[in-house]
Amino acid sequence: MILINLLPHREAARKRRRDLFNVSLGASALLGGIIAGSVFLWYQAAIASQQSNNTLLETEIKKLEAQIKDIATLESEIAALRARQQAVEDLQSDRNLPVHLLTELVNQLPDGVYVNKMTQVDQSVTLNGVAQSNERVSELLRNLANNTPWFSKPELVEIVSGTASISPKEQKRVANFVIRVRLVRASEAEKIAAKMAAEVASSAVRPASSVALVPAKP
């Protein structure tokens, strides 16, 4: 007996292929959704972790800023205390400045130079005086600049020719001068004096001069 399939086998095969395609498409869509959801959740977790780290960093930064502010305040307080300490030390050392001023001024005045008036404002000293000549004034300026640690930056403010009465019938030409000089504090003067002493000591040391040997005459 011969069997004949009268069903539309081509339609059935096409339907099976269509169903398989739909199942594959649905599975692909489901798999894509799962992957996309997983990636989304991973990014969300990473963002949340980064935000948590940022919050922690901001908290630590605020703590450091507070500590830095405290350190700056402490440094300013230390600087103020040091300034007060230095002011007290300067006051203690400056008590003898008038003595040094008069002593050094007497030592540095050349012959033929006389001081008529002296004015001190803080560390600035103004000298008004009379000299026998302009050369004597120049010598005084050199002495104040080089020979003492208690004066610095001497400046000739004014020099005017004048006359001085030696006797009722005799007058002599003189130079009236005004000199401004800076009085050095004791702490600075000690350092300058030590430096000057070292320079003097080094200049005093000279290599032994060689002695030429002259052969004796026969």
In tens, the pLDDT along 171-190 reads 888 899 999 999 888 777 77
Q: CA–CA separation, 181 vs 7, rounded Å?
A: 130
Q: Are 181 and 127 in contact (CB under 8 A)?
A: yes
Q: CA–CA separation, 69 vs 177, rounded Å?
A: 55
Type of residue at 105: L
Mean pLDDT of 145-174: 85
Average pLDDT, the chain: 81
User: What's the pLDDT score for residue 216?
Assistant: 42
The contacts of residue 96 (CB under 8 Å, 6+ apart) are 186
**pTM > 0.85:** no
Q: Tell me the CB-side half-sphere exposure of residue 18, using CA atoms within 13 A.
A: 6
Q: Tokens for 102, please give them.
A: 């008069």
Q: CA–CA separation, 104 vs 153, rounded Å?
A: 15
Rg value, the chain, Cα: 50
Type of residue at 209: S
The model's pLDDT over 73-91, given as tens digits with 9 standing for 90+, comes to: 888 889 888 888 877 776 7
Q: Tokens for 140, please give them.
A: 């005084």
6 alpha carbon, distance to own chain's centre: 107
* Class (C level, CATH) for 112-192: alpha beta
Indicate the range of 11-20, 89-98, 122-131, 198-207 predicted with least confidence.
198-207
Between residues 86 and 140, the one the model is more confident about: 140
Give the single-character DSSP code of 212: P
* Nearest by Cα to 183 from 116, 119, 136, 135: 119
The yes-or-no verdict on residue 204 having pLDDT over 80 is no
Mean pLDDT of 206-218: 44
The model's pLDDT over 24-35, given as tens digits with 9 standing for 90+, comes to: 888 888 888 899
